[in-house]
Amino acid sequence: MFTIEHEFDATVVTLVDEPGSHLQEDVTITAFEDCVTVEQTDPRTDRDQKITLSLSQIRDLAAALDLPEGSYRLKR
């Protein structure tokens, strides 16, 4: 399950882990004009862990999901 919210300066997508044997914490993805952040609470420390990706890294990640093992460079 996921939700999508459009805020003033960003689009926020929250991924909710469906019932299963090994549930993970919700993941929140926030897309800004110049970067994307991915956040998840670490249940061991009860602290949010956050990474920030450039839009170039997001494009590379999207392409990588459909490619076989290897090293690639996308043409811009």
Tell me the pLDDT band of 72, cut-offs 50, 70 and 90. Answer: confident
- Whole-structure pTM value: 0.83
The answer to whether residues 15 and 4 touch, using CB atoms and an 8 Å cutoff, is no
Residue 6 has which token pair? 């459009």
Cα–Cα dist 39/29, whole Å: 6
Tens digits of residue pLDDT in 36-59: 999 999 999 999 999 999 999 999
Tens digits of residue pLDDT in 6-23: 999 999 999 998 877 778
Domain boundaries, the chain: 2-64
26: Cβ–Cβ under 8 A, 6 or more apart, which residues?
Answer: 14, 15, 16, 17, 40, 41
